[in-house]
Amino acid sequence: MADNYLERRYEEVFGPSARKGPAKRSAGLETLMKRNRSYREYDTSYVVNRFQLEAMVRVNRYLASGRNAQTLRFRLLTKENGSDKLQGLYHLGRALPELHLPRKGAEPEAFIVICATVAPDRNLWIDLGISCEGMLLKATEMGLQGVIICNFNPAEVKAALDLPLDPLCIIAVGRGLEKIEIVDAAGNLDYYRRDGIHYVPKLSLEDIII
Ligand SMILES: Cc1cc2nc3c(=O)[nH]c(=O)nc-3n(C[C@H](O)[C@H](O)[C@H](O)COP(=O)(O)O)c2cc1C
């Protein structure tokens, strides 16, 4: 094997600042799910590469799909590969309009744009949700953060990226900057920021079992 092949490949996938050395025990599923929050501000000095996005998309090979139809298709955009074409075409943080997100200088710069080969039906929407969560959990496992974005104009994004299919949703990926905490919901479910912390209210188990 070529000199340092594994080390170089590791850096390609996980980025230059990723921890090397003895393998760390990977976090349990619930820990990953709690860590997997929606980030809307990113460290632009960290550049997500194509291998990282491919590692995320690869998990689709292990996911459930209605009738096993596997109709989702993915366009990968990195900083080196046209992600700037998406800037200005999507909106973040509808519940925090005063912050004008994405904040200049903290925009996500890597994206996975998800399309489908068929017209949306119930199975497709479920496939899409499974795919988004699966890919974001993989990102979390790799030490990255992200957010699902549906607040964009599909026709504009399709034209800007010259996509052969209609985009359904976008996942932004990067090194998130916010400190995010889950809190028990008390009435209002809007996420909010206080003293530098982004709070996400979640309903209790009793609330959601009917
Ligand atoms: C279907 C869907 C669409 C979303 N679209 C957007 C969006 O366009 N912009 C945004 O900032 N966040 C978007 N989000 C992120 C949600 O706002 C986020 O999941 C919610 O506030 C809860 O935060 P959490 O993901 O950290 O639990 C979307 C999430 C989902 C599941």
Report the largest interatomic distance among the alpha carbons of the chain, rounded to a whole angstrom.
Answer: 59
pLDDT at 105 over 90: yes
45 with 126, same domain: the answer is: yes
**Domain count for the chain:** 2
Provide, rounded to the nearest whole percent, the portion of the chain with pLDDT above 90: 87
169 with 182, same domain: the answer is: no
Residue of 91, 150, 183, 208 to test ligand 1 pocket, by largest number of atoms within 8 Å of CB? 150
If pLDDT is split at 50, 70 and 90, which confidence band does 27 have? confident
Q: In the predicted model, what is the mean pLDDT of the chain?
A: 92
4 C-beta closer than 6 A to ligand 1: no
92 C-beta closer than 6 A to ligand 1: yes
For residue 196, what are the domain limits? 178-210
77 C-beta closer than 6 A to ligand 1: no
131 with 190, same domain: the answer is: no
Mean pLDDT check: name the lowest of 72-76, 98-102, 132-136, 169-173: 98-102
Rounded distance, CA 34 to CA 52, Å? Answer: 21
123 with 155, same domain: the answer is: yes
118 with 45, same domain: the answer is: yes
117 with 205, same domain: the answer is: no
pLDDT of residue 2: 47
Q: Is residue 18 part of a domain?
A: no
Q: Is residue 119 part of a domain?
A: yes
85 with 117, same domain: the answer is: yes
98 with 192, same domain: the answer is: no
pLDDT, mean of residues 56-69 = 98
Distant-in-sequence, close-in-space partners of 18: CB < 8 Å, separation ≥ 6? 10, 11, 143
pLDDT at 22 over 90: no
Q: Is residue 3 part of a domain?
A: no
If pLDDT is split at 50, 70 and 90, which confidence band does 129 have? very high
Ranges of H-type helices in the chain:
5-14, 29-35, 50-58, 122-141, 154-161, 205-208
113 with 183, same domain: the answer is: no
pLDDT at 208 over 90: yes
63 C-beta closer than 6 A to ligand 1: no
pLDDT at 19 over 90: no
CATH of the domain at 124: 3.40.109.10
